[in-house]
Chains A and B, each alone.
Chain A
Amino acid sequence: DTWRYAFEEALDEVQGIYAQKFKEEIEANTDHEIQLFPYGTLGESADIMEQAQDGILQFVDQSPGFTGSLIPEAQVFFVPYLLPQDTETLASFFRNSKAINEMFPTLYADQGLELLTMFPEGEVAITTKEPFKTPEDLDEVKIRTMTNPLLVESYKAFGATPTPLPWGEVYGALQTNIIQGQENPMFFIESTKMYEVTDYVTRIGHNNFTTAVMANKDFFEDLSDEDRQAIRDAADAAFAHIIDYQKGLTEASVEKIKEAKPSMTFTTLSEEERQPFKDAAGEVEAKFLEMTGDSGKEILDQMKEDLKTAEDATQS
Chain B
Amino acid sequence: MAAAIFSIMIVLLLLGFPMMVPLIAGALVGFVTLFGGLGQLETMIQQMMAGIRPASLIAVPMFIFAADIMTRGQSAGRLIDMVMAFVGHLKGGLAISTAAACTMFGAVSGSTQATVVAIGGPLRPRMQKAGYGDSFILALIVNASDIAFLIPPSIGMIIYGVVSNTSIAELFIAGIGPGLLILVLFAVYSWAYAVRNGVPTEPRASWGERLRAVRAALWPLGFPVIIIGGIYGGIFSPTEAAAACVLYALILETLVFREMGLRDIYRTAKSTGLITGVVFILVAAGAAFSWVISFAQIPQAILSGAGIDQMGQIGVLFAISIAFFIGCMFVDPIVVILILVPIFAPVVADVGLDPVLVGTLITLQVAIGSATPPFGCDIFTAIAVFKRPYMEVIRGTPPFILILLGVSVALIFFPQIALFFRDLAFPGEAG
Contacts and interface: CB of A to CB of B under 8 A. Distances in A.
Q: A and B: direct contact (Cβ < 8 Å)?
A: yes
Interface of A: 4, 10-12, 35, 37-44, 47, 50-51, 54, 56, 165-166, 168-169, 171-173, 175-178, 191-193, 196-197, 260
A40 B334 contact: yes
B43 A10 contact: no
Given A41-B335, A51-B43, A166-B56, 18 more contacts: A10-B163, A10-B342, A12-B165, A37-B294, A38-B338, A40-B338, A43-B46, A50-B43, A54-B43, A56-B40, A56-B295, A166-B55, A171-B158, A172-B237, A175-B153, A178-B237, A196-B168, A197-B169
B55 A169 contact: yes
A54 B155 CA distance: 31
A47 B47 contact: yes
Nearest to A169: B237
A43 B47 contact: yes
Nearest to A16: B342
A82 to B, nearest CB: 29
Contacts of B233: 176
B265 interface: no
A178 B40 CA distance: 41
Given A169-B237, A172-B237, A42 B295 contact: yes
Interface string B142-169: 0000000000010100110111010111
A41 B162 contact: no
Interface string B35-66: 10000101100110010011110000000000
B16 interface: no
A40 B335 CA distance: 7
Contacts of A51: 43, 46
Nearest to B287: A43
Nearest to A256: B165
Given A43-B46, A54-B42, A176-B233, A169 B167 contact: no
B337 to A, nearest CB: 9
A172 B42 contact: no
B232 interface: yes
Contact of A11 (B55, B162, B342): B342
A38 B340 CA distance: 12
Contacts of B234: 176-178
B367 to A, nearest CB: 18
Contacts of A173: 237
A50 B339 CA distance: 20
A171 B237 CA distance: 11
Interface of B: 35, 40, 42-43, 46-47, 50, 53-56, 110, 153, 155, 158-159, 161-163, 165, 167-169, 231-238, 291, 294-295, 297, 334-335, 338-339, 342
A178 B236 contact: yes
A208 to B, nearest CB: 22
Nearest to B297: A35
A14 to B, nearest CB: 14
A47 B46 contact: yes
A12 B349 CA distance: 14
Contacts of A42: 291, 294-295
Given A43-B47, A191-B162, A168 B155 contact: yes
B267 to A, nearest CB: 32
A229 to B, nearest CB: 28
A51 B338 CA distance: 19
Nearest to A180: B234
B231 A176 contact: yes
Nearest to B154: A172
Contacts of B334: 40
Of all A-B residue pairs in the complex, the 10 with the closest CB atoms, nearest first, are A177-B234, A166-B55, A176-B234, A40-B338, A172-B153, A196-B169, A193-B168, A41-B294, A43-B50, A192-B162
Given A40-B335, A43-B50, A192-B162, A56 B56 contact: no
A126 B5 CA distance: 47
Nearest to A171: B158
A43 B165 CA distance: 20
Contacts of B297: 35
Contact of A191 (B54, B165, B169): B165
A43 B291 contact: yes
B40 A260 contact: no
B116 to A, nearest CB: 21
Contact of B161 (A4, A12, A193): A193
Given A10-B342, A40-B334, A196-B169, A56 B158 contact: no
B46 A50 contact: yes
A166 B110 CA distance: 15
A33 B291 CA distance: 21
Nearest to B169: A196
A192 B160 CA distance: 10
A169 B56 contact: yes
